Amino acid sequence: MTKYWMVGIGGFFGSMLRFWVGGYFGYRFGSRFPYGTFVINCTGSFLIGLLATLLAEKGHWNPNWRYLIPIGFIGGYTTFSTFEYETFRSFQDGELLMAGLNVLLSVAVGFVSVWLGVITGRSLS
């Protein structure tokens, strides 16, 4: 039962942070390009690379941390389904450049972010 609580608690805080970050970047930079979702996907990709590496290489951590952080917190924070929907909406609205740019940047920068997270995690472990 503890693992469900850990996922729920992590998801609560991840979702709250997602709401704040998405709102901040949308307000700050406008909504033509989904800046908030882009930032959330990139930072979430970095965090999953970093934390999954640290949790895997520091085997003495309590297993509940795996439920709290990667599954709960990052699962609540990242927004891949929102990314897909926003890309579809841009495409449907005829904003082909914005849709393509969103896919290209999210995948490329997200990949690099995971890579940097893994490197950072290895250097810290």
CA atoms within 13 A on the CB side of 51: 18
Give the pLDDT confidence of 62-117 residue by residue, as tens digits.
888 888 988 899 999 997 878 888 999 899 999 999 999 999 999 999 999 999 99
pLDDT for 13-36, tens place per residue? 999 999 999 999 999 999 889 999
Cα–Cα distance, 113 to 118 (Å, whole number): 9
Residue with tokens 């709102």: 23
Largest separation between any pair of C-alpha atoms in the chain: 52
Output the pLDDT for position 80. 83
